[in-house]
Structure 1
């Protein structure tokens, strides 16, 4: 019979998932910044790259708090989202719609991260991991701010530019 899995196990497995995802995102953001046509979008991707690197450091601290080695576990969800972003770059390169597509892909990443960090926060609270909760909340707040900035960028400039004829 299989060993009983606990919330501790689920927390650890999900932590490995988001750790892998953040590292993949950190590698994908410079490519997205290079592909973006709008200076504002390029800047947003570069800023999020720096933030993501800080989030990876926070995740490493959480692994230390629970006495586990920081390691990732392949995250099929983030692999798919990043692959969609790469398809947008290939299919829309040089078109007015490219930035809108890149921005949409970036928001899919943000929404995935917000979902994961929200879950991890709830579980960390349940497990009494107060220090982990505060580290997760710091990251969650950054992800939510990034999502808001991307929405603003889409509504203010990028979507309108995408509508224009090439």
Structure 2
């Protein structure tokens, strides 16, 4: 009984992150366009390419569990991306914009890291070894993106925002 409930929860959460990744794919070009720092623009563009791979891996995980790849509305990502849009609008043209975009992007990354970490553990518990590998690959990429964003913040984005 508990095993069935965990598999249902796994599937439900998989639909959640699939929806979120689709929304993130649409948001990244807008964030790249708004970024002032060439390094931040490049980071957003690189992550868009990675996110396309994340979506493909999620489709494979859906296949592993014998379910169609479909999303379900994720209110959390809607809220996080909404905050990013507010930063783009409110800080457009200011020295603080890039610092705000890094902050918004890290909120997205932390959400994804939490989701992928949970899904990976559940896949282990459910004996879905192939899914574990796919989810771990994405989790590693999300963690590296978060670290890269931290380096951008520490490397000057935040200081430029303070100096203005």
TM-score by length of 2: 0.97
Could you list the structure 1 runs, at least 4 aligned residues long, displaced by more than 6 angstroms after superposition.
Answer: none
Partner of 2:126: 127
- For residues 53-103 of structure 1, the C-alpha deviation after alignment (integer angstroms, 9 at most, x for no partner) is 000000000000000000000000000000000000000000000000000
Task: Give a deviation string over 1:115-153, Cα, whole Å, max 9, x none.
Answer: 000000010000000000000000000000000000000
Can you list the C-alpha shifts for 1:25-79, whole angstroms capped at 9, x where unaligned?
Answer: 0000000000000000000000000000000000000000000000000000000
Q: How far, CA to CA, are the matches of 1:116 and 1:78 in structure 2?
A: 11
Using the TM superposition, give the Cα deviation of residue 112 of structure 1 relative to its aligned residue in structure 2, in angstroms. 0.1
- RMSD (Å) for aligned C-alpha atoms: 1.0
* Structure 1: distance between partners of 2:34 and 2:8: 39
Q: How many residues align?
A: 162
How far apart are residue 5 of structure 1 and its match?
A: 6.2
Displacement of 1:6: 0.5
Write the distance in 1 (CA, Å) between the matches of 2:64 and 2:77. 25
Match of 2:138 in 1: 139
Q: Tell me the TM-score normalised to structure 1 length.
A: 0.96
In structure 2, the residue corresponding to 1:95 is in which secondary structure?
Answer: coil
Secondary structure of 1:67 counterpart: coil
Partner Cα distance (2:138, 2:50) in 1: 9
Distance across 1 between alignment mates of 2:99 and 2:120: 31
Flag structure 2 segments of 5+ consecutive residues without an equivalent.
Answer: none
Residue 106 of structure 1 is matched in structure 2 by 105
